[in-house]
């Protein structure tokens, strides 16, 4: 993985020094080399910070076509590239490198923007086509790799991270509505916290010429209609189909010219990845696991048992509250977004430990919950909205059991307390997905803490969720099973904007670590999309088909264990510890007071109430505090104008 920067100026004033500064701001993404190119007429500039994974000797970028009229920079990995290289050569192309990145350049020459359908992997690309005078930028199907853009003074800026846009000259300002959307509803697909800064949505590409800019979609989930999604084969056949797709995805992600490790928790997803990777790796896999002092959040013993089964070398990385406090600001500055738990900080520390151990590439289990219904809110959706033939008393009993068994998810993955109006959502979808109700319950808690002017300005929008305006409801949701609808909307919002950022790319690339995500291989996703919903959630068993598909390569404890979300212990549960003191000091200090979005007196009143709350209420309110503290960090680090 790497860092990329692109500039397209209608005024023809791209400065090499500016491009170099912007590229250097992404040094952590690519410490193995920094290169820039500016066109002769100074209308276009491309910058690349390289992390060498494939073709360590000749893979420097930007890469030019044979006639040097097309140039590309790539962040990511393309799998199965060797076969495509041979096909390109058979059509007369002369490859300058042995890297996987170059295939995108020549595929574009042959197929234009339709080349994206032949690319498999995690990627963001920027390409300049001199013949057409067209800039082409694209992001992978799921948003694993980031790509931001902004227009400023007739110039289009693109980069892997927002800080590079600011370094290039884009003003660093908060977007008031973006802030409100993020703290109350979790954000949008394209909008960010920052004024004038947007992200290319997953599965989309951008085209820019001297006269216009457009963004087009090239891939979507396309869940089948409910009547076309009924079981037609045996469980065994579905299991074998999914196992084959996932195992191939894991196998191809072991391909690298540097050592590859695995991030391991006690969860089914990473254990499945390790179990399958061990079958195809010639030496013991290196497995890296975070451990915590609090038993409810520590999965170390379960992970260690799994590592022993797989014959892997187990590397525990212990994390205490002081570590979270000491590294919170640096991790949030890298993420450039707001967090609801310090789990991202823990991932930041994990990536640092892996880098210090000499590794550049890890395979992770992210994305499994989003495609297989892993979170408790998806099981709640199945109980509430797939009731045919079920006993009402049994459903009520299971709903109560689900709530009791997921106390650590209270307010985060399951609703806590009052839920706002769901009428607008129900009018569009016909029901309210549990995760939207959960976000609404968080919005209710956040509302009193907002500045009165912000409440007055945006209060009328409460209950309307922007994601429903951003997706094609009729083509992608209408007539689909409620679980598939919920999965789709979650993947477009929380997965792309939060999980793959806070628990993925940004925490890994902060320490020059490339994360590979086999569950989000589009061939794996398209396989599970076609399978019936009872292969995802069956009764109280989540990720049913995965559980059965990998049973032979995981421990019995992992096979039988229900989903436990990866979370670090909330600061509010250890009031005398360093992390809690850090939160208190930040929220009672001058940074929050200077932000125009919140009422600090009401925030301090909430802090004063914490000691009298039960554990569940403190856990739910901890998420609110994390949002506020992370916003203070961004303000302090980047000096953003309101």
**Dihedral sign, Cα of residue 584, residue 587, residue 588, residue 590:** positive
Task: Report the alpha-carbon distance of residue 101 to residue 98 in Å, rounded.
Answer: 9
pLDDT(54) > 80: no
Structure-model confidence comparison of residues 424 and 527, the more confident one: 527
β-strand pairing of 361-363 with 514-516: parallel
The average pLDDT across 499-505 equals 95
Q: Cα(54)–Cα(1) distance, rounded to whole angstroms?
A: 10
Question: DSSP class of residue 227?
Answer: G
Is residue 409 predicted with pLDDT exceeding 70?
A: no
For 44-63, the DSSP string reads: EEEEEE----S-TTT--SSE
Q: Could you give the percent of the chain with pLDDT greater than 90?
A: 77
Contact between 122 and 517 (Cβ < 8 Å): yes
Confidence of residue 415 (pLDDT cuts 50, 70, 90): confident
Percent of the chain with pLDDT over 70: 97
> Residue 119, SS3?
coil
The pLDDT assigned to 605 comes to 97
Distance CA 362, CA 50 (A): 17
Q: What is the pLDDT of residues 436-462, one digit of tens each?
A: 999 999 888 999 999 999 988 887 776
pLDDT recorded at residue 554: 98
- Let me know: does 581 contact 325? Beta carbons within 8 Å: yes
Q: Alpha carbon 135 to chain centroid distance?
A: 25
d(CA 220, CA 142): 9
171/168 Cα distance (integer angstroms): 9
CB atoms within 10 A of CB 637: 15
Determine the average pLDDT of the residues in 245-254: 97
Q: Is the pTM of this model over 0.75?
A: yes
Question: Which residue ranges form the domains of the chain, and what is each CATH number?
Answer: 3-174+192-217 (3.60.20.10), 222-642 (3.40.50.620)
- The C-alpha atoms of residue 232 and residue 386 are separated, in whole angstroms, by 18
Across all residues in the chain, what is the average pLDDT? Answer: 93
Residue 52 Cα to chain centre, angstroms: 22
Residue 112: what pLDDT? 97
How far is the C-alpha of 167 from the C-alpha of 562, rounded, in Å?
Answer: 45
How deeply is 400 buried, as exposed, middle or buried, from its count of CB atoms within 10 A (0-12, 13-18, 19+)? Answer: exposed
Confidence bin at 51 (pLDDT 50/70/90): confident
Nearest to 536 by CA among 500, 491, 503: 491
pLDDT at 401: 74
Interval 545-571: pLDDT, tens: 999 999 999 999 999 998 878 889 899
pLDDT (average), residues 231-239: 97
- For 281-306, how does the pLDDT look when each residue is reduced to its tens digit (9 = 90+)? 989 999 999 999 888 889 999 999 99
State the average pLDDT over residues 323-352. Answer: 96
598-629: per-residue pLDDT in tens? Answer: 999 999 999 999 999 988 888 889 999 999 99
Q: How far apart are CA 271 and CA 483, in angstroms?
A: 25
> Do 559 and 281 meet the contact criterion of CB atoms below 8 Å apart?
no
Over the stretch 156-202, which tens digit does the pLDDT of each residue have?
999 999 999 999 999 999 999 999 988 887 777 889 999 999 999 99
Q: What is the pLDDT of residues 260-274, one digit of tens each?
A: 999 999 999 999 999
pLDDT score for 96:
87
pLDDT for 49 beyond 80: yes
Instruction: Kindly report, residue by residue over 68-109, the tens digit of the pLDDT.
Output: 999 999 999 999 999 999 999 999 999 988 889 999 999 999
- Residue where the block lists tokens 């009401």: 602
pLDDT at 416 over 90: no
Do 304 and 557 form a contact (C-beta atoms < 8 A)?
A: no
């Amino acid at each position: 993985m790497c860092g990329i920067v692109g500039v397209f100026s209608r005024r023809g004033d791209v400065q090499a020094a500016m491009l170099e500064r912007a590229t250097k701001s992404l040094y952590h993404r690519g410490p193995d080399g920094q290169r820039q190119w500016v066109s002769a007429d100074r209308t276009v500039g491309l910058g690349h910070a390289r992390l060498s994974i494939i073709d360590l000797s000749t893979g420097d970028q930007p890469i030019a076509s044979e006639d040097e009229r097309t140039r590309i920079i790539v962040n990511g990995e393309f799998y199965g590239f060797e076969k495509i290289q041979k096909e390109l050569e058979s059509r007369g192309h002369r490859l300058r490198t042995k890297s996987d990145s170059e295939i995108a350049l020549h595929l574009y020459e042959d197929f234009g923007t339709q080349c994206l359908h032949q690319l498999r992997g995690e990627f963001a690309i920027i390409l300049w086509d001199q013949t057409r005078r067209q800039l082409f930028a694209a992001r992978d199907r799921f948003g694993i790799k980031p790509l931001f853009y902004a227009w400023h003074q007739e110039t289009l800026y693109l980069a892997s991270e927002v800080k590079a846009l600011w370094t290039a000259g884009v003003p660093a300002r908060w977007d008031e509505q973006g802030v409100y959307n993020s703290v109350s509803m979790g954000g949008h697909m394209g909008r960010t916290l920052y004024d004038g800064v947007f992200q290319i949505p997953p599965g989309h590409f951008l085209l820019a010429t001297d006269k216009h800019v457009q963004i087009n979609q090239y891939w979507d989930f396309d869940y089948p209609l409910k009547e076309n999604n009924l079981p037609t084969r045996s469980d065994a056949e579905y299991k074998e189909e999914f196992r084959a797709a996932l195992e191939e995805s894991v196998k191809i992600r072991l391909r690298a010219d540097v050592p590859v490790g695995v991030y391991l928790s006690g969860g089914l997803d990473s254990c499945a990845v390790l179990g399958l990777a061990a079958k195809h790796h010639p030496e013991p896999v290196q497995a890296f696991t975070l451990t915590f002092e609090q038993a409810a959040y520590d999965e170390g013993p379960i992970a260690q048992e799994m590592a022993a089964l797989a014959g892997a070398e187990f590397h525990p990385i212990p994390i205490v509250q002081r570590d979270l406090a000491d590294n919170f600001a640096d991790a949030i500055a890298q993420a450039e977004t707001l967090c609801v738990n310090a789990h991202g900080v823990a991932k930041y520390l994990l990536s640092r430990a892996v880098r210090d151990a000499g590794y550049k590439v890890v395979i992770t289990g992210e994305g499994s919950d989003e495609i297989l219904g892993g979170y408790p809110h998806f099981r709640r959706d199945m109980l509430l909205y797939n009731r045919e033939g079920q006993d009402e008393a049994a459903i009520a009993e299971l709903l109560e059991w689900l709530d009791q068994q997921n106390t650590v998810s209270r307010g985060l993955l399951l609703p806590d307390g009052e839920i706002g109006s769901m009428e607008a959502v129900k009018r569009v979808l016909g029901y309210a997905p549990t995760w939207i109700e959960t976000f609404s319950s968080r919005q209710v808690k956040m509302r009193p803490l907002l500045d009165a002017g912000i409440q007055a300005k945006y209060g009328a929008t409460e209950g309307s969720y922007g994601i429903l305006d951003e997706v094609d409801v009729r083509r992608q949701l209408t007539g689909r099973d409620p679980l598939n609808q919920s999965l789709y909307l979650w993947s477009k919002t929380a997965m792309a904007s939060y999980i793959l950022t806070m628990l993925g790319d940004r925490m890994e690339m902060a320490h020059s670590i490339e994360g590979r995500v086999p569950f989000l291989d589009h061939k794996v996703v398209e396989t599970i999309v076609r399978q019936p919903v009872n292969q995802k959630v069956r009764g109280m068993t989540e990720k049913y088909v995965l559980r059965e598909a990998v049973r032979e390569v995981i421990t019995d404890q992992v096979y039988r264990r229900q989903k436990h979300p990866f979370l670090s212990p909330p600061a509010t549960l250890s009031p005398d510890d360093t992390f809690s003191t850090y939160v208190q000091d930040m929220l009672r200090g001058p940074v929050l007071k200077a932000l125009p979005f919140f009422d600090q007196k009401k925030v301090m009143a909430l802090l004063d109430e914490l000691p009298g709350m039960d554990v569940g209420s403190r856990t739910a309110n901890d998420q609110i505090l994390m949002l506020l503290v992370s916003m203070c960090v961004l303000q302090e680090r980047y000096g953003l104008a309101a």
